[in-house]
Amino acid sequence: MENYETVLNFFKAASEPANAGAVAEATGIDKKEINKVMTKLKKEEKIVSPKRCYWELKR
C-alpha cells in the first residue's frame, strides 16, 4: 500500500501527464510495481489518459 500512496502523490504533484517509466524513474519504484498500482488507479478512476500511454490525475 506504500507504493500506492507514493504513485498517487506523484500524480497529484505532476504538472503534466506521465508514463509508467517516468513514474518509476521519479519514485525509484520498479516499473512492474508501478504498472500494478496504475492498473488499480485506472480501475478506481483516479487517473485518466489524455493521450496514449500517458496518465494524469482525474479532475
Instruction: Give the pLDDT score at 1.
Output: 74
Q: Give pLDDT tens digits for 10-54.
A: 999 999 999 999 999 999 999 999 999 999 999 999 999 999 999
Q: Are 55 and 49 in contact (CB under 8 A)?
A: yes
Non-local CB neighbours of 48 within 8 Å, separated by 6+ positions: 55, 56, 57, 58
What domains sit in the chain, N to C, each tagged with a CATH number?
2-57 (1.10.10.10)
Instruction: Give the pLDDT score at 24.
Output: 97
